[in-house]
Amino acid sequence: MTQPNSYGSWPSPITADYVHGSTVGRGQPWADGEHVYWRETRPQDEGRSALVRRAPDGSTTDVSLPGQDVRTTLHEYGGGDYAVRDGIVVYVVRDGQRVWVSRDGGEPRPVTAETDGLVRYSGFCIDPRRGVAYAIREDQRDPSLEPVTSLVRLDLSGDGSGVGEVLQPGRERQVADQAGRVARGTSAYRDQAEPGQDGRVARGTSAYRDHAEPGQAGRVARGTSAYRDQAEPDDTPAPPDFVLDPALSPDGRRLAWLTWNHPQMAWDGTFLWVAELDDAGDLREARVVAGSTDESLEEPTWLDENRLLVLSDRSGWSTFHLLDLREESAGLRPVHDDQHDYGMPRWVPHMRSFALLDDGRVLAGRIVEGFRGAVLLDPSSGDVTDVELPITYIDQVGAAPGSKAVAVVGAADAMPTVVRIDPDEATLTPLAGETDELLERFAAPPEAITWSGFDGQTAHGFLYLPRNPNVVVPEGQRPPLLVTTHGGPTAATAAVATRARTYWTSRGFAVLDVNYAGSTGFGRAYRERLRGQWGVADVQDAALGAQHLADSGVVDAERMAIRGGSAGGYLTLAALTTTDVFSAGTSLFGIADVGALAEHTHKLESRYTWGLIGPWPDDRSTYDERSPINHLDGLSAPLLLLQGDEDKVVPPSQAQMMADALQRKGIAHALVLFAGEGHGFRVPANQIRAQELELSFYGQVFGFDPAGEVQQVTLS
């Protein structure tokens, strides 16, 4: 029987335990013959991920050993945790970061050395004939250097004592911040910074400042060639700072891979390399065949022994291009003309946006108005045909026998899951999991909306209205709004059902998922709107999106909250301190001081802010202006801070600084630290607690009593 309830207090079967305690995550599917593999994250096993193999009869077995967590920590974000080919399975175990190998379903064994996690691997490309795998290796063993990322070859018959043979060495940079200063705490720092018998003056003292001439503090003068080497795109391909996606030609005679350099990210500009391989798997005639600092290339895939298919955004959209090595000097040529994105930002290895099928066609995801549907591409003609599937999202696409594919797909009423796709019949077959009937009943459908955002330009998002079949919508009331902001910021929100979002909409919240300026899927120009405007354009897009819904009478203007994690947490903090649109906010491991982030973050993102804000520390004043911690005079809304105490990407000191400042100002807030958690919460009990504390927080701020038993947060 339906009954009227105030928005926010609707009783819902979508509990926090249902959201996090029973949700098994499945991803990274690979097909190897008639077997299909995937990585399965199990909440009942404290969030560990197992590697699973599905037999043709539908039965499943674990490839990884009990207690193993299949997870690489390459560049802190991981990705590309395993690969499989011809019965050979290669995977990384989180504890120790060693590479393990299983053959034909046999007992796995380690083939790399124990390094206490200081050597990390990912992006495996298996070469069965040579008995090796080509991989990305991040080496953190030398504390005087930034982690060194190299292309390596791993002996899959190794005795577990090696760390791979380096094929293309990575660039070795001294551990220093972006101003040229050597990192505090290292022996190199002590050598230059502490008083010594040679009469050097201690760094940071007044005597040091009195005698230091410009440049003596290690800063490189703006305008010099040395400065340009730091602050401008590096068009010297080798040695690279980063390596991505090695790919072996069908005849085993060539290897292709991507590289890029600081201060850019992979979506700014990459280089495509090709090398001949000798019998041992050593590189010969390694050369750059495409790419630049102004062109992002993705997913090199061999069509045959001479032709490479690759995604390029040189047209302003991430579309398919072809390189024929028999006409190498001709460079890339477009396969088709399409003003839609097919690729995604390369945060991690093995982000497979498409697959080459047995018959030579390509099954790919194409993004239209934020929805990612399936299409078939003929690389010879450039013809693109829609595959009419009941989905709103497709990702992690891999080829399967019979010109079929495996992928992760999601829909408006179904969470992402692993399926087999027959593109000719336009059918999909779930390979794991059961139908989520509760989600089908309660999930709110996405509505793609636009509004006038930053600088009068169009902004994008998905609106989800409250939905609960057991509740009558109250007359004369408007729902509270929860604006959700994705991380990255170079990323996008997907239009798929999630239990986490349904937790809110089934309780009477409207949710606006914002694809703010800088998001992907809307072309390179939209992504680059955030260049130099982080903390401005994204904040305005989110605030103006909320205001648009309030002005349209869709939501209650007095009860609008904003939430987000990582970069989305930064957007949340910036919106609360620089606009008056929101009356509450929740930051999950968000950034309060972007200058501190620029000085103390990991290698992958150590120069990321240079493009988002400006070179550090020369543009320090801009960093100060963009840091929410410096704008607390504009903050009056209550704030919930949720933070892992082992976060290496956004250190917990960032949340503590914000909490201390809020305490001094007397603004209602709570800082909740989660022991043992990093950048994102993995342990189900912590996820459940965070979800319920957030609901309790909104109930206290917006004046409603949440239905059911909910853990309470105490506001200071």
Predicted confidence band of residue 190 (pLDDT cuts 50, 70, 90): very low
Condensed to tens digits (0 to 9), the pLDDT of residues 138-171 reads 999 999 999 999 999 999 999 999 999 999 999 9
β pairing state of 481-485 and 560-565? parallel
Q: Record the pTM.
A: 0.90
Question: In angstroms, rounded to a whole number, what is the distance separating the alpha carbons of residues 655 and 644?
Answer: 10
Dihedral (Cα; 548, 552, 555, 561), 10-degree rounding: 10
Question: In angstroms, rounded to a whole number, what is the distance separating the alpha carbons of residues 266 and 171?
Answer: 16
Nearest to 281 by CA among 166, 123, 410: 166
Predicted confidence band of residue 230 (pLDDT cuts 50, 70, 90): low
Phi, psi of 230 (to 5 degrees): -85, -45
pLDDT score for 199? 31
Name residues whose C-beta falls within 8 Å of residue 11's C-beta, 6 or more positions apart in sequence: 5, 470, 471, 707, 708
pLDDT score for 66? 97
pLDDT score for 176? 65
pLDDT score for 218? 32
pLDDT score for 648? 84
Predicted confidence (pLDDT) at residue 213 exceeds the cutoff of 70: no
Which amino acid is it at 692? E
Predicted confidence (pLDDT) at residue 438 exceeds the cutoff of 70: yes
Contact 301, 247 (CB under 8 A): yes
Order the strands of the 35-42 sheet from edge to edge.
Answer: 25-32, 35-42, 48-54, 60-62
pLDDT score for 231? 58
Predicted confidence (pLDDT) at residue 2 exceeds the cutoff of 80: no
Predicted confidence (pLDDT) at residue 206 exceeds the cutoff of 70: no
pLDDT score for 574? 97
Predicted confidence band of residue 682 (pLDDT cuts 50, 70, 90): confident
Place of tokens 């290496």: 648
Name the least confident of 42-56, 120-134, 547-561, 573-587: 42-56
Helix (H), strand (E) counts: the chain: 14, 38
Condensed to tens digits (0 to 9), the pLDDT of residues 514-572 reads 999 999 999 999 999 999 999 999 999 999 999 999 999 999 999 999 999 999 999 99
What CATH number matches the domain at 443-470+502-702, 3.40.50.1820, 3.40.190.10, 3.90.1580.10, 3.20.20.370?
A: 3.40.50.1820
Name residues whose C-beta falls within 8 Å of residue 220's C-beta, 6 or more positions apart in sequence: 179, 180, 226, 227, 230
Q: Which residue has the higher pLDDT, 32 or 683?
A: 32
Contact 353, 364 (CB under 8 A): yes
Which amino acid is it at 463? L
Per-residue pLDDT averaged across 587-612, rounded?
93
Q: Would you list the domain boundaries of the chain? A: 443-470+502-702
Question: In angstroms, rounded to a whole number, what is the distance separating the alpha carbons of residues 562 and 585?
Answer: 5
Element (H, E) at 440: helix 437-442
Q: Report whether the peptide linkage leading into residue 615 is cis, meaning its omega lies within 30 degrees of zero.
A: no
Question: In angstroms, rounded to a whole number, what is the distance separating the alpha carbons of residues 236 and 233?
Answer: 9
564 CB burial (10 A radius; 0-12, 13-18, 19+): buried
Predicted confidence band of residue 222 (pLDDT cuts 50, 70, 90): very low
Predicted confidence (pLDDT) at residue 201 exceeds the cutoff of 50: no
Predicted confidence (pLDDT) at residue 250 exceeds the cutoff of 80: yes
Name the least confident of 35-39, 346-350, 648-652: 648-652
Predicted confidence (pLDDT) at residue 226 exceeds the cutoff of 50: no
Place of tokens 């408007």: 478
What share of the chain has pLDDT > 70, as a percent? 92
Condensed to tens digits (0 to 9), the pLDDT of residues 15-69 reads 999 999 878 899 999 999 999 999 999 988 888 999 999 999 999 999 999 999 9
Question: In angstroms, rounded to a whole number, what is the distance separating the alpha carbons of residues 692 and 682?
Answer: 16
What share of the chain has pLDDT > 90, as a percent? 84
Predicted confidence band of residue 3 (pLDDT cuts 50, 70, 90): low
Across the chain, what does the average pLDDT equal? 91
Predicted confidence band of residue 392 (pLDDT cuts 50, 70, 90): very high
pLDDT score for 171? 97
Q: For residue 629, what is the DSSP state?
A: G
Place of tokens 């992504």: 527
pLDDT score for 142? 97
pLDDT score for 225? 37
Predicted confidence (pLDDT) at residue 188 exceeds the cutoff of 90: no
Q: Is 637 helix (H, G, I), strand (E, B) or coil?
A: coil
* Residue 420 token pair: 């087999």
Predicted confidence band of residue 597 (pLDDT cuts 50, 70, 90): confident
